[in-house]
Amino acid sequence: MKATVSAIIIALGASYTSQVIANDQSTPRVAFFGFQLINTSLQSTAPEEAQRIRSLDDTFQRKLNASGRFKLIAIPHDLDDAIAAASIANCNGCERDFALKAGADLAAWGTVQKVSNLILNINVYIEDAKAKKMLFVKSVDIRGNTDESWQRGLDYLLRHYLLNK
């Protein structure tokens, strides 16, 4: 009887462990390289825009983590200099290499293009690093160069396109 109970407990424990491992492996690991500002306007880049970029980075990471659909991983410090030297938005695949070196399945990044202080667009990209295939590309236009318009733009993009169910 003890042997049967022990065998059942071991079998249940093994089953649970297998499910946890399977669930952990099915959640894609994401290396997020942040947002970059692309200023094509006649106005110079304002210090507030650098803060808005950092705010978008924080919001993106927080919402992806909260969704449970992605597992954001930390970028190793030894990659920081190489990533900072590269322009992820225009590096011809360096994002894939960085993601793989970081141990991620997916590379994610974003851009904010400033056409003017009235017209901006927020773009989000997610690529399968191993398959070298873009999985998600979406853009939203925003009107107005304010903290609120930037946050609302990203919130809309995430809620209606990336994290919609």
Confidence tier at 85 by pLDDT (50, 70, 90): confident
Of 34, 3, 8, whose CA–CA distance to 109 is shortest? Answer: 34
Sign of the four-CA dihedral 92, 95, 100, 102: positive
For the segment 66-76, the average pLDDT, to the nearest whole number, is 95
The 10s digit of each residue's pLDDT in 3-13 is 554 444 444 44
CA-to-CA separations, 12 to 7, 8, 18, in angstroms, rounded: 9, 6, 10
Sequence-ordered strand ranges (E) for 51-131: 71-72, 106-114, 119-128
Specify the pTM.
0.82
pLDDT at 153: 98
CATH code, 27-162: 3.40.50.10610
pLDDT at 3: 53
Of 107, 51, 63, 105, whose CA–CA distance to 83 is shortest? Answer: 107
Tell me the domain boundaries of the chain.
27-162
Confidence tier at 159 by pLDDT (50, 70, 90): very high
Of 33, 150, 29, whose CA–CA distance to 87 is shortest? Answer: 33
